[in-house]
Structure 1
Amino acid sequence: MTRVLIVDDAAFIRLQLKQLLQSNGFEVVGEAENGKVALKKIKELRPDLVTLDITMPEMDGLECMIEIKKMDYVPTVIMISAMGQESTVQKAILAGAKGFLVKPYKSDVVIKNLSKFKK
């Protein structure tokens, strides 16, 4: 089963994504409210997949993505953000993200995109 870490500063988004992913065969192994917490949890939990918001306090998703790429263990990262401008998407992909979903998202689009990375 694909192990997922959900990173978003909004608790309701984390809960919504967790329920969606669990009901579609993913194992949610953890949650983080910002990039700093996410880095610790990636080291600790070693998820297969990380959903990563961009706009967060303390460390945003783009900064976090850059730090993830420096780690010994690098999970697949999908950015999920309300910031869908082309330049933001390009920055995320250049930083190493394997995909980008725009909020508000449709459940079927999330599952279709994340299922490509299922183990």
Structure 2
Amino acid sequence: MRQTYRIIVIDDDPITRMDLVEMLQDAGYDVVAEGKNGEEAVRLTQTLHPHLVMMDVKMPGMDGLTAAELIQKSGQAAVLLLTAYSQNEIVAKAKAKGIRACLVKPVLEEELLPTVAFVLSDLSQIR
């Protein structure tokens, strides 16, 4: 039996969120929650214990890098960052915070699904 992975999707753009959720659900993933900022990402991770949190870097309030750092420190979930910027500085910050992967938006299904599978492939380091 294939394991069902729980995923939270966080992005301040509702259209982007909707697209990501649809792609993930069509691939058989269980999207357990959605949110629009880093505060929601941290809170939802603490209450729902997902395997993966996918979130945007630039959001109002707490940004994705700050939220990712808090989630990574707690060891509660893997983090996959989404960004509209492919700048080396953002990649370096994400790597320093233990982020498993980054994707540049707009995210295409043929990039998203293999990246999600890769991030989820080694959950032993998370749990």
- For the superposition of Structure 1 and Structure 2, which TM-score range results when normalised by the shorter chain? over 0.9
2:76 counterpart of 1:74? yes
Superposition RMSD on alpha carbons, in Å? 1.3
Match of 2:60 among 57, 60, 65: 57
> What residue identity is the alignment partner of 1:51?
M
4+ residue stretches of structure 1 with deviation over 4 A?
A: none
Q: Which consecutive unaligned segments of at least 5 residues does structure 2 have?
A: none
Summarize the alignment of residues 7-46 of structure 1 with structure 2, pairs less than 5 Å apart: 7-46=10-49
Q: Which consecutive unaligned segments of at least 5 residues does structure 1 have?
A: none
> What residue identity is the alignment partner of 1:17?
L
Relative to the length of structure 1, the TM-score reads 0.93
Partner of 1:114: 116
Q: Which sits farther off after the overlay, 73-82 or 62-71?
A: 62-71
Question: Larger RCO: Structure 1 or Structure 2 (Cα < 8 Å, ≥ 6 residues apart)?
Answer: 1
Partner of 1:48: 51
Report deviation, 1:106: 1.4
Where 1:104 maps in the other structure, the secondary structure is coil
Report deviation, 1:65: 1.3
Q: Is 2:72–2:78's contact at 8 Å kept on the other side of the alignment?
A: no
Match of 1:105 among 100, 104, 107: 107
| CA distance in 1 between partners of 2:88 and 2:97 (Å) | 14
Distance 1:115 1:69, change over 3 A: closer
Deviation digits for residues 37-60 of structure 1, max 9, x if unmatched? 111100111000110110000100
Report deviation, 1:70: 3.1
Count of residue pairs brought into register by the alignment: 118
Relative to the length of structure 2, the TM-score reads 0.88
Report deviation, 1:83: 1.5
Identity of aligned residues (%): 32
| CA distance in 1 between partners of 2:70 and 2:46 (Å) | 12
> What residue identity is the alignment partner of 1:66?
E
